[in-house]
Amino acid sequence: MAEELAELAAQDLAFGYDGRLILRDLTLGFQAGGLFFLVGPNGAGKSTLLALLAGLLAPTQGRVLLRGQPLSSFSPRELARLLALAPQKSTFSLPFTVAEVVAMGRRPYLGRWGRLSPRDQEKVDLALTRLGLESLAGRPITTLSGGEAQRAVIARTLAQDTPVILLDEPTASLDIHQSLGLMGLLRELAAEGRAIIVVSHDLTLAAVYAQEMVFLKKGRLVASGPLAQTLTPELLELVFEAEARVWADEFTGGLAISWRPRPNLGPSAS
Amino acid sequence: MPVPHVARLARNPWGLALLLVVALLGLAWLSLSWGYLAFSYQEIWEIIQGRLLGRELELGRSQIIWEVRLPRLATALAAGAALGLSGAIYQGLLLNPLADPYTLGVSSGAALGAAGVITLGFWGPAWLSNPITPTVGAFGGAAVTLLAVMALARERDGSLPPTSLILSGVIMSTILSAGLSFLKYLAGDQVSSIIFWLLGSFVARTWLDALLVTVFFLPALLVALASAVDLNVMTLGLDQARTLGVNTKGTRRRLLAVASLAAASAVAVSGIIGFVGLITPHLIRLLIGPDHRALIPLSALAGAVLLGAADWVARAVLPGEIPVGVLTALLAGPVFLVIFRRQARRLTRG
């Protein structure tokens, strides 16, 4: 993969502390217009990779390139106009309204006193609409349910209007109806020419919506590439230690996975 | 569209600002005219104009306004504004409704500094016993305490986690209180002068006191206003603020420094006046919501009105003058308890 041409790329990336590496030897590229699913078992280093890609952690080795330039060469404001991160968990301590929280996504474009221009307001309204939050716009964010709050955080990320969007477990508190809607939206965003990178545990959704897969295990890259080539029973068993079947599903137009049941949480027979 | 459910009593910060300015003017008139000697509106105005333009005035009456009541009012307003401002900044920054100059140990540091200088004045050189030195001592004490608390709370990567800051503040306060008790013990018969300073009062404040607070308050207000949007974003969490382009470390340090200097200057001229910094931001947040662009200036304005009013009541309304710090604690304490209960209940309900 030509990392230099990628919108966002990792080069020989490694991260660790106290002499112990959590991630190592990661070289990866995320192209514009792609919807990437980053998957792997718990503790594979997915969230750490996301934090490195977003510039929240400094790599122990290697570097992250955004449009061919190292992340450190961007000012915080420039970076925030190019790359947005929707975290998995947010804690809201103050009763800002949903509209106010989403408007905070415009922070990288605002002047010192934070006045929203008509264009900023347009982006905020569009983000609220795309996440179906219009009717909640005036509600204090502290009174929302988990799923509503998660949608508000994603709307804030959308209002940031960046070519690269990272999402950590965006469907974790959403029901199936909302998850499908969100996946459709991510597909739309990728079609607009953005690079969308999703960390997810939901392989069923990945099998339908991902264009590219990235498999991590124990801090190492196991495989990456187009969905049809990487989502194979062999690779799934290698990464997740579970027996799977994968087939083309005409109902979804994508792939489908089913798993062989296991008796308990003990070590697997293989 | 359904009616937005907004838990705010007044949606317009400008309306509240106007109301507070009117209250401030009314309070100024009451404070200047009421007292042992009464003054009419016209006479007050003539004295102020006369002093500013250098006209001949009746010495006695003009002195009461220009050298006693006006500097006292100005000091109380400036100290109230500084306490309200620092409370709003601390609470937003530390996301802790209990954060104020007291929780961070800044006030205890100031108190120990002042008491130390007063005690030294009993035995030390004569120049130590004058009205200015406790102020200088308070200021030094507050600054040293803040630096110590920040050093204690600082992580290896230079970050200052809110919980560590508050814990360090509480630990420092405890140590400083012990030091204060020791000083009171040392002072023996002269302990009353320390106690009186600690109670908090605006008796015999001068233009210099008002100026000292203003010099620290105004830059703090400007810095806070310029960082208000970033402070809003930082309440979402520091990582989210960073991905939105906020320099979280720098902003936090800058805001802690200006809030503490403003609070220290207020404690330095007025002694210990509790609850104004704690309660004012709560009231304003209840009225107009949490946006710091409005919350910060309005907390300062409301702090001025509250402390100015408390001082007026302590001086002119009650039969005998009582220290204003006692009054604010007696009045605001129960209000704070109500707010605290409401928040605790909301938290337990989830």
Q: Measuring CA to CA, how many Å separate B193 from each of A169, A210, B116? A: 62, 75, 12
Q: Given an 8 Å threshold on Cβ–Cβ distance, is B236 in contact with A92? A: yes
- Average pLDDT value for residue range B314-337: 81
Average pLDDT, chain B: 84
- Tokens encoding B225: 């206003």
Q: What residues of chain A lie within 8 A of the CB of B230, using their CB?
A: 107
Please list every residue in chain B whose beta carbon sits closer than 8 Å to the beta carbon of residue A56.
Answer: 239, 242-243
Which residue of chain B has the CA closest to A106? B244
Is B4 touching A (CB cutoff 8 A)? Answer: yes
Q: How many CB atoms lie within 10 A of CB A169?
A: 20
Q: How many residues are there in chain A?
A: 270
Which tens digit of pLDDT belongs to each residue from B63-82? 888 888 999 999 999 999 99
Query: For residue range A196-239, what is the model confidence (pLDDT) as tens digits?
Result: 999 999 999 999 999 999 999 999 999 999 999 999 999 999 99
Contacts of A101 in chain B (CB under 8 A): 236
Average pLDDT score over residue span B256-268: 86
**B332 vs A197: which has the higher pLDDT:** A197
**pLDDT higher than threshold 70 for residue B126:** no
What CATH number was assigned to the domain covering residues A3-259?
Answer: 3.40.50.300
Would you say how long chain B is, in residues? 350
Number of neighbouring beta carbons within 10 Å of residue A5:
12
Q: Is the minimum CB–CB distance between A138 and chain B shorter than 8 Å? A: yes
Task: Check if A135 contacts B (Cβ < 8 Å).
Answer: yes
With a CB cutoff of 8 Å and minimum separation 6, the contacts of B194 are B115, B118, B119, B183, B184, B187
Considering the domain B79-349, what is its CATH architecture? Answer: Orthogonal Bundle (1.10)
Q: In Å, how far is A34's CA from the nearest CA of chain B?
A: 21
Cβ <8 Å between B230 and A92: no
Q: Which of A92, A89, A226 is nearest to A169 (CA)?
A: A89
Answer yes or no: is pLDDT of B5 > 50: no
In this prediction, residues B50-69 reach a mean pLDDT of: 86
Which chain A residues touch B240 with a CB distance below 8 Å? 85, 87, 90
Pick among B96, B221, B243 to test the A interface (most A CBs inside 10 A): B243
A158 in reach of chain B (CB within 8 A) = no
Res. B348: pLDDT tops 60: no
Instruction: Compute the nearest-CA separation of A135 from chain B (Å).
Output: 7
Reported as a single tens digit per residue, the pLDDT across A24-43 is 999 999 999 999 999 999 98
Nearest to A150 by CA among A166, A135, A134, A169: A169
State which residue of chain B sits closest to A158, comparing Cα positions.
Answer: B244
Average pLDDT over residues B287-304: 95
Chain B touched by A129 (CB under 8 Å): no
Q: Which residue has the higher pLDDT, A44 or B54?
A: A44
- ipTM here: 0.90
* DSSP class per residue in A212-240: EEEEEETTEEEEEEEHHHH--HHHHHHHH
- Nearest Cα neighbor of A172 from A193, A194, A141, A149 is A149
Strand partners, A26: A13
**Best mutation target, A88, A97, A102, to test chain B (most B CBs within 10 A):** A97
Q: A178 pLDDT exceeds 60?
A: yes
Say whether B2 and A135 touch across the interface (CB within 8 A): yes
Q: Say if residues B100 and B303 touch (Cβ distance below 8 Å).
A: no
Contacts of B282 in chain A (CB under 8 A): none
Nearest residue on chain B to A152, judged by CA atoms? Answer: B236
Residue A183 scores a pLDDT above 90: yes
State whether residue A218 sits within 8 Å of chain B by CB.
no
Task: Give the model's pLDDT for residue B231.
Answer: 95
Q: Is A92 on the interface with B (CB under 8 A)?
A: yes
